[in-house]
Chain A
Amino acid sequence: MMDSEAIARKYERVLAPLTRTGWMFWAAVISLSIIFLWSFFAFGWQYRRGLGETGMGHPVSWALYLVNFVFFIGISHAGALVSAVLRITRAGWGTPFGRAAEAVTVFALAAGPTNILFDLGRSSRFYWVALHAQFKSPLLWDFTCIMTYFTVSVIFLYVLLVPDIGLLRDRFPGRRWLYRPLSLGWTGTEKEWSVLSKTIGFLCIAVIPIAVSVHTVVSWVFGLQTQPMWFSTIFAPYFVVGAIYSGIAAIILVTIALRKVYHLEDYLKPYHFNNMGLLLLVFTLLWAYFTFAEHLTVGYAGGSAEHAVLWSKLTGKYALLFWIMVALCFVIPFPILVFKRTLPGLLIASICIIIGMWIERYTIIIPSFIEPRLPYVRGDYMPSWVEWSMTAGIAAGFTLAFVLFSKLFPVISIWETEKDEKEGHDKLRQKGFNLLTG
C-alpha cells in the first residue's frame, strides 16, 4: 500500500468533492431542504386533522404512501444486492458502483418504511407492531425483514468505508472529530485487512437472502390478501425482480449524476456503464416476462372480479397509466439497452424505468381497491396535496441525504479501486473493454 499522501494525490478527483463546494451544492441543499421541511408541515397537518386530509377513502384505503413504500424498498435492492453479487462473482467492473449503490440502499431503506409511518392512523404508536407482535400478520414479517435489511445494509456500507475513513482521518485533520471515532483506529495492518475481508465475505453472503426476503414479504403484504389481482403466487418473485430492476436503474442514474457533477470520468468509464446496462437489460426482459405471465394468466383464467380489475387496467380507467408504464418499463428502455448502451442512452433508459416502476406500483395497488371483489362498493382516488407533499418530501430527503453523504465520504471506494488495480484486474478490464467495444 502506498502512503496516504500518495493515495490522496492519486485519487485527488475522488476526494475533491469533500473539500470543494460550489454554488450548485448550496443551491441543491437549500432547495431540497425546503421541500423536505415542507413535508414536515404537511405531515403535521395530516397528523392533527386525520388521514382524511389525503385522497384516500372507502374502498381505496391504501394509496400513494404504500406506492412510495414499495417503490423505495425496491430502489434499496439495488444497492446491497447488486454490489454483493458483483463482489461474490468477482466482477471487477462493479467496483466503482459499489459505494454509491450501498449508500442508495441505506437511504432508500430509510425513506421507504417512513411512508408507513405517514400511512398509520395513529402514527405515534407504530412501535406497537413490535410490542404486540403478531406472527400471523405479514406486517410483522415486513417489520422484521426490513429492520434486518436496514441494519445489515448500514453495517455493509460502514464496513466497506472503514479503510477509506482511515485515509480521511489522516488527510483531513479539521474533521477528525467525525472520522476518528468512525475509523475504529484503522491503520491498515495485515491483521486488520484479513478481518475486513472476512467480514465483507460474510456480509456479502448474508445480505443476498435478506434482500430477497425483504421484497418477498413486501409482495406478500399484497399477495396474501383476497383482493383481486393481488392474490397471486408469482407476486414474490415478480416484486423481487421489479425491485432489482428499479434499483439498477437508480444506481445508473445516481452514478451518471455523480460522474458529471464530481468529474469522475476516470473512474466511471463507458465500459462500466456498458456492463451495468447489460445487467439492466437482463432485468428489463425478466420484468417484461413476469408482467406478461401475470396478466395473461389473469386474463385467460381469472374470475370475474379479477377481470374487472384487469380490464380497468388494459382499457378502462387505468389504461393510460398502465400503457405509459409498459412504454417506460419496456418499450423505450429495451431498444436503448440492446443497441445503445451509451451514457445518454442509459440515462434516458434509467429515468424511464424509475418513473415506470413507480407507476407500476401505482397500477398494482390502486385498481384492485377501486374494483373490490363484491361488485357493490365503488370509489375513486385522487392524491391530495398532502400526499404529493409527502412524496416530494421523501424524495427530497433521500436526495439530500445522498448529497450530504457525498460531501463527507468518497463516493468511489478508494481502497477497493487501489486493490483491484494491484491485483491486476486492470489488465482484465482492459481486455474486456476491447472485446465489448471493439
Chain B
Amino acid sequence: MGSKKYFLPISSSPQLPMKGVHMYRWGMVIDLDRCTGCQACVVACRQENNVPFAGEQEAGLGRGKFWMNLISEVKGSYPDVEMRFFPIPCMQCDHPPCTKVCPVEATYKNPDGIVAQVYPRCIGVRMCISNCPYTVRYFNWHAPSWPDDYKRGRNPDVYRRRKGITEKCNFCIQRIRTAKWNARREKRRIRDGEVVPACAETCPSGAISFGDLNDPKSRVSRLSKSRRAFRLLDDLGTEPKVYYLKEGEWHDG
C-alpha cells in the first residue's frame, strides 16, 4: 500500500519489531456476554465476502464455508438448559502456523498483521488447512456456486474464488483498503471505528469490536486488556489477534 510514510509513529507495542511500529495491527474483540447467537455475523460475512453456498448435501460432507462460524454448545437438558455461543473467525495469529507451511507462499501475514490468502497463487496443497489449530481455513472442493437470484447481490470488491484453492477470513481486507486510501488522501491515520468488518458492523448487540491494537486508546486495545479477555489455544503460542471476553461467571474474574 505504500501508506506508511504518511503516518506518525505511535507508542511501540512489545509484540512488534521496531520496523513495524507505525503500522496498524488489526484486532477483534468478541464479547461472549453480549453474543445472542443470532448468526447475523455469519450471514453478513457471507454476503460481504462472496462466500459460496455449499448446499445441504455438500454441507453434510463437511464442505460448508463459514469465514465467520458460530459454534453453539448446549449444556444440560430441559428445563435446565444452558446454551453458549462462540463465533469463530480467523484468529489472525501473529505467529500463524498456516503461513509457514505453504510451499508457494500463497498465504502470508501482511504488514497490518492480517493473515492473507493470495488466491491466484494457491495450488491447493491444503497443508495450511491441516496446520490451522482453529480449523478456520476452508477449501473450494467444487467450483463455487450461488443460487441464481443471489448472484446479483455479490460484492464486486471481492475476488470470486475458483475450485481447488483455499480461502479464509481476512477481516474484510477490502474495507480496510478503502479506509486506508481515504485516510491517506486526508493525510491522517484511520480513526478508531472508522473501518469495521461486516460481522462487527452487523452485530445487533455490539458484541464484536474491531480496531487497531497498536493504538492504545482504541476500543479493542482497551477491551483486550480486560480481566475477562482470553484467547483461544493461547498455549500454542500462535498469538491470536482475536480476543474473547468471558461471559457470565464474574466471580472468578
Report which A residues bind B (CB closer than 8 A). Answer: 49-52, 55-62, 119-122, 125-126, 128-129, 131-134, 136-140, 143, 221, 224-227, 369, 372-374, 376-377, 379-380
CB distance A227 to B131 under 8 Å?
yes
**What CA separation (Å) do A183 and B233 show in the bound complex?**
61
Question: Does A134 lie within 8 Å of B135, measured CB to CB?
Answer: no
Whether A58 lies near B138 (C-beta < 8 A) is yes
Instruction: Kindly state the separation between the CA atoms of A224 and B124 in the bound complex, as whole angstroms.
Output: 19
B58 lies within 8 A of A52 (CB): yes
Q: Which of B122, B132, B140, B232 has the most chain A CB atoms inside 10 A of its CB?
A: B132
Known contacts A50-B143, A227-B130: does B61 contact A57 (CB below 8 Å)? yes
**Cα(A126)–Cα(B122), bound, Å:** 10
Contact A137 B164 (CB under 8 A): no
**What are 11 of the A-B contact pairs (CB < 8 Å)?**
A50-B164, A52-B61, A61-B126, A121-B124, A121-B165, A128-B123, A129-B123, A132-B121, A134-B104, A139-B127, A226-B131
Task: Verify B123–A121 contact, CB threshold 8 A.
Answer: yes
Among residues of A, the one whose C-beta sits closest to the C-beta of B233 is A373
Which residues 139-189 in B have Cβ within 8 Å of A in the complex?
139-143, 163-166
Q: Is the interface of B mostly helix, strand, loop or mixed?
A: loop
Q: Which B22-66 residues have a C-beta within 8 angstroms of A?
A: 58, 61-64
Shortest distance between the CB of A57 and any CB in chain B (Å): 3
**Additional pairs, 10, CB under 8 Å, beyond known A121-B126, A137-B102, A225-B127:** A50-B143, A58-B139, A62-B126, A132-B105, A137-B100, A139-B103, A225-B130, A372-B133, A376-B71, A377-B71
A372 → chain B, closest Cβ, in Å?
5
What is the chain A residue whose CB lies nearest that of B121?
A132
Q: Smallest CB–CB gap between A32 and chain B, Å? A: 30
Looking across the interface, which residue of chain A has its beta carbon closest to that of B132? A226
Tell me if B7 counts as interface (CB < 8 A to partner A): no
A51 touches B164 (CB 8 A): yes
* Residues of B within 8 A of A (CB-CB), count: 43
**A121/B164 in contact, CB under 8 A:** yes
Nearest-Cβ distance from residue B84 to partner chain A, whole angstroms? 11
Distance in angstroms between the alpha carbons of A51 and B123 in the assembled complex: 12
Do B123 and A125 have beta carbons less than 8 Å apart? yes
Chain B contacts of A119 at CB under 8 A?
Answer: 125-126
B20 at the interface (CB under 8 A from A): no
Given A52-B142, A128-B104, A134-B104, A122 and B164 touching (CB < 8 A)?
A: yes
Shortest distance from the beta carbon of B61 to any chain A beta carbon, whole Å: 5
Task: Give the complex CA separation of A309 and B84 in angstroms.
Answer: 25
Out of A50, A60, A125, A224, which one reaches B163, CB within 8 Å? A50
Q: Beta-carbon contacts of B62-88 to A below 8 Å, as 1s and 0s?
A: 111000010100000000000000101
Whether B138 and A120, one on each chain, are in contact in the complex, defined by CB atoms closer than 8 angstroms, is: no
B135 and A374 within 8 A (CB): yes
- Which residues of A sit under 8 angstroms from B138, Cβ to Cβ? 58
Contacts of B64 in A (CB 8 A): 58
6 closest pairs, A vs B, by CB?
Answer: A121-B124, A121-B164, A57-B62, A52-B141, A139-B103, A379-B62
Chain A residues with Cβ below 8 Å from B122 are 121-122
**Across the interface, do A126 and B123 meet the contact criterion of CB distance under 8 Å?**
yes
B125 touching A139, Cβ below 8 Å: yes
Q: What separation, in Å, do the CA atoms of A126 and B104 have in the docked complex?
A: 10
Please tell me if B134 contacts chain A, counting CB pairs below 8 Å.
yes
Chain B contacts of A122 at CB under 8 A? 122-124, 164-165
Which of A58, A136, A369 touches B100 (beta carbons < 8 Å)? A136
Chain B residues lying within 8 Å of A225, measured Cβ to Cβ, are 97, 101, 127, 130-131
Is the beta-carbon distance between A51 and B141 smaller than 8 angstroms? yes
CA distance A226 to B143 in the complex (A): 29
Contact status A376-B164, CB under 8 Å: no
Question: Is B129 among interface residues, defined by CB-CB distance under 8 A?
Answer: yes
Let me know if B18 is at the binding interface, CB within 8 A. Answer: no
Q: Report the minimum CB–CB distance from A139 to chain B (whole Å).
A: 4
Q: Which residue of A lies closest to B72 (CB)?
A: A376
